[in-house]
């Protein structure tokens, strides 16, 4: 289990804020099965190369937020120590926000200086320890061609992602020699990984960037080392910590009523806004924050829309429980 296992996600390809256009199914060209098979092979290899067996380790992360939201900081740090699968410590610092969690078996001791985690910190967590992607059935592979990325030969996969009556163009580039994932672009959003270093039986990116168009949003530097000599005080519970226990039988929340905004005009052009928050024990979303501010004019409306959604809450041993979740709001003709 990796140092970020509590928070990391296997991400399918998407954009937080992306302009979508219409693809008419009757005019879409047929996909070449051999081309798709090769694209899937390249992506699966890239994922395999960045999936190590995790020994006891310590992870160090420094990140920069190039365009922080009002009141947020421009820099932050993360440190994650893993002595054993159920003995871990997380420490995040971002401006005035401080988060420490220590896991001892199924018991968790958590201190947070604020009940709401900053959106930029959420975005950084989701990129670590490596951005991994899979091609979904709705992804239509167009071509695979040679290119040069960061001065190295690469193989780039051009594809379209279909979602309802919208289409997003995208490209994935892998290093032609090593197979490492170099860039993932969907619409205007790009994830860039570089400075790979060897860790145990795999490799991890030492540098990750997230761009929206020509604007860099996040700059992340990471290093992970094998460590077994933790002092006893490293895993001491933080002062004023809240004690709870990990759920040993968890069932995820599912949607009851999640209507999207009404279109403002007759157009298939759409903007998708992605938020992060939690589903409470009552099945209602709260602690919502938009993960980007590229469209601040839609941020408040997206929060208003999601706050009215309802879910069947997550269950822990058949009792209602809270759950962190991402939400997507699609604005047509806005």
Which tens digits make up the pLDDT trace of 9-53? Answer: 233 333 333 344 333 444 455 789 999 999 999 999 999 999 999
The pLDDT of residue 168: 84
**CATH for 323:** 3.30.2420.10
Last residue of a domain, one of 244, 273, 296: 244
pTM for this entry: 0.85
Residues 155 and 263 occupy one common structural domain? no
78: nearest Cα among 66, 64, 60, 95: 60
pLDDT of residue 266: 74
Ranges in the chain, pLDDT < 70? 1-29, 164-165, 267-268, 293-294
Q: Are residues 220 and 277 in the same domain?
A: no
The single residue listed with the structure tokens 């604005």 is 331
Residue at a domain's end among 199, 227, 244: 244
In a domain, 175, yes or no: yes
Is the residue at 224 inside a domain?
A: yes
**Cα–Cα distance measured from residue 304 to residue 298, given in angstroms and rounded to the nearest whole number:** 10
Q: What is the pLDDT of residue 88?
A: 98
**pLDDT of res. 50:** 96
Domain count, the chain: 2
Pair 185, 65 in one domain: yes
For residue 236, tell me if it sits in a domain: yes
Give the range of the structural domain holding residue 123, as residue numbers without chain letter: 19-244
Q: What pLDDT was estimated at residue 175?
A: 98
CATH number of the domain to which 186 belongs: 2.50.20
Domain check: are 143 and 256 in the same one? no
What is the reported pLDDT for 15? 33
Same domain, yes or no: 37 and 65:
yes
In a domain, 13, yes or no: no
State whether 232 and 111 are in the same domain. Answer: yes
State the pLDDT at residue 294.
62
Q: What is the pLDDT, as a whole number, of residue 4? A: 39
pLDDT the model gives residue 24: 40
Residue 293 confidence (pLDDT)? 60
Which of 204-215 are b and which e, b meaning 16 or more Cβ less than 10 Å from the residue's Cβ? bbbebbbbbeee
């Amino acid at each position: 289990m990796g140092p970020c296992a509590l928070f990391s996600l296997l991400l399918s390809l998407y954009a937080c804020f992306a302009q979508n256009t219409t693809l008419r199914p009757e005019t879409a060209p047929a996909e070449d099965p051999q081309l798709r098979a090769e694209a899937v092979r390249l992506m699966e290899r890239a994922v395999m190369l960045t999936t190590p067996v995790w020994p006891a380790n310590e992870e160090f992360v420094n990140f920069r937020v190039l365009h922080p939201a009002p009141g947020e900081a421009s820099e932050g740090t993360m440190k994650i120590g893993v002595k054993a699968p159920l003995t871990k410590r997380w420490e995040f610092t971002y401006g005035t926000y401080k988060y420490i969690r220590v896991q001892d078996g199924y018991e968790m001791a958590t201190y947070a200086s604020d009940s709401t985690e900053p959106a930029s910190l959420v975005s950084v967590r989701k990129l670590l320890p490596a951005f991994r992607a899979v091609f979904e059935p709705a992804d239509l592979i167009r071509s695979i061609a040679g290119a040069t990325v960061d001065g190295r030969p690469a193989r780039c996969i051009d594809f379209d992602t279909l979602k309802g009556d919208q289409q997003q163009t995208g490209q994935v580039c892998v290093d032609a020699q090593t197979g490492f994932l170099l860039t993932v672009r969907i619409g205007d959003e790009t994830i860039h990984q570089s400075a790979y270093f060897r860790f145990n039986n795999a490799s991890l990116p030492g540098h990750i960037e997230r761009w929206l168009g020509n604007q860099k949003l996040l700059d992340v530097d990471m290093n992970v080392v094998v460590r077994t000599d933790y002092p006893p005080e490293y895993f001491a519970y933080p002062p004023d910590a809240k004690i709870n226990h990990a759920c040993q039988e968890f069932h995820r929340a599912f949607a009851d009523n999640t209507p999207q905004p009404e279109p403002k005009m007759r157009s298939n052009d759409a903007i998708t806004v992605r938020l992060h928050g939690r589903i409470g024990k009552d099945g209602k979303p709260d602690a919502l924050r938009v993960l980007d501010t590229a469209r601040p004019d839609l941020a408040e409306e997206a929060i208003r829309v999601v706050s009215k959604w309802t879910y069947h809450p997550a269950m822990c041993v058949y009792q209602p429980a809270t759950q962190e979740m991402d939400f997507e709001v699609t604005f047509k003709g806005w």
